[in-house]
Amino acid sequence: MSTADESASVLDAFRLDGRVAVVTGGNRGLGRAFAQALAQAGARVAIAARDSGRSGDVAEELGVLAVDADVTDRASVEAMLERVTSELGPVDVLVNNAGTCFHRPALEVPPQEWRQVFDVNVDGLWHCSQVVGAQMVERGTGVIVNIGSISALIVNRPQMQPAYNASKAAVHQLTKSLAAEWAPHGVRVNALAPGYVKTEMAPVEDPRFKPRWVDDAPMQRYAVPEELGPSLVYLASDASSFMTGSVLVVDGGYTLW
């Protein structure tokens, strides 16, 4: 969309009717909420994760396609794209949401834990971006939304999580790199950086964490996953047609202090 259509409602720009969207890690937490939001906006959605039982249940609940995929495995990502393309059509929207985190002080991080965080959060996102991005660049159209984090911007406390923080900083910078490179090919790449959201990854009510994660924040509350859905739809749709290489921080003001 390059010029405003005067007869259209501004909300039409957020519609995703006829578009095909993939959400990695869409079977719980934020990914589930993103899949639901994209489907509500009109997209045909696939969720791609490892736990097939859980994915199958969510697919039934939301009316989306479940695809077994491990983002750390290149062949699995290629097979995922093939299945989505044949069942739903070529991918218009890729949401790189799959992620993992461990709490551990730097001197105690075992090598395999460091590796696992980078395998999922960085290499996994890279595999999906490169494999799906190739299809988008060839078609001259597409949108990628990477799920970054406030952890790319600040150091979380009280828990230490050096691998995760570094991995999310890589996600933000890779977002900018791909955005610059693929803009001439009609592909936009942005990141969404949430603050604390209640999911399995973030036990926001745990008394060990709540004082720092929640009570210390300007809004003094956490988000529920559904609150991030509209921001995701904004980045995935023509509503953000002139936006690429940006990081949208949605954190209840957490990074203000």
Interaction between residue 201 and ligand NDP (CB under 6 A) = yes
Polymer length in residues for the chain: 257
**Look-up of token digits 């490892």:** 50
Which residues on adjacent β-strands are paired with residue 189? 144
Residue with tokens 């509500």: 40
Applying CB under 6 A, does 24 fall inside the site for ligand NDP? yes
Q: Applying CB under 6 A, which of residues 175, 199, 237, 244 lies at the interface with ligand NDP?
A: 199
In the complex with ligand NDP, the residue whose CB is nearer, 183 or 224, is 224
Q: Which of 196, 209, 234, 254 binds ligand NDP (CB under 6 A)?
A: 196
179 and 188 Cβ atoms separated by less than 8 Å: yes
Question: Contact between 65 and ligand NDP (CB under 6 A)?
Answer: no
Q: Does 200 bind ligand NDP (CB under 6 A)?
A: yes
Peptide bond into 218 cis (omega under 30): no
In the complex with ligand NDP, which residue's Cβ is closer, 21 or 71?
71
> Which residue in 36, 97, 165, 190 binds ligand NDP (CB under 6 A)?
97
In the residue annotation, 196 being an active-site residue is answered as: no
Determine which residue in the list 19, 31, 156, 175 makes contact with ligand NDP, applying CB under 6 A.
31
Q: Does 123 bind ligand NDP (CB under 6 A)?
A: no
The CB-of-164 to ligand NDP minimum distance in angstroms stands at: 7
Nearest in space to 100 (alpha carbons), one of 193, 196, 25: 25
Of 110, 245, 236, nearest to 178 by C-alpha is 245
- Binding of ligand NDP at residue 71 (CB under 6 A)? yes
SS3 of 188, please?
strand
From the candidates 164, 196, 222, 234, give the one annotated as an active-site residue. Answer: 164
* 29 binds ligand NDP, rule: CB under 6 A: yes
Question: H helices of 17-149, where?
Answer: 29-40, 52-62, 74-87, 111-118, 125-139
Taking the C-alpha atoms of residue 117 and residue 112, their distance in angstroms, rounded to an integer, is 9
Of 54 and 83, which has the nearer Cβ to ligand NDP?
54
Q: Which two tokens stand for residue 55?
A: 């994915």
Within 204-243, the residues that bind ligand NDP by CB under 6 A are none
Work out whether 252 is an interface residue with ligand NDP (CB under 6 A): no
What number of other Cβ atoms are within 10 A of residue 111's Cβ?
7
Contact 211, 153 (CB under 8 A): no
| C-alpha to C-alpha distance for 215 and 246, rounded to whole angstroms | 28
Instruction: Assess 128 for contact with ligand NDP (CB under 6 A).
Output: no
Applying CB under 6 A, which residues contact ligand NDP? Answer: 24-25, 27-31, 49-51, 54, 69-72, 97-100, 120, 124, 147, 149, 194, 196-197, 199-202
Which residues are marked as active site? 164
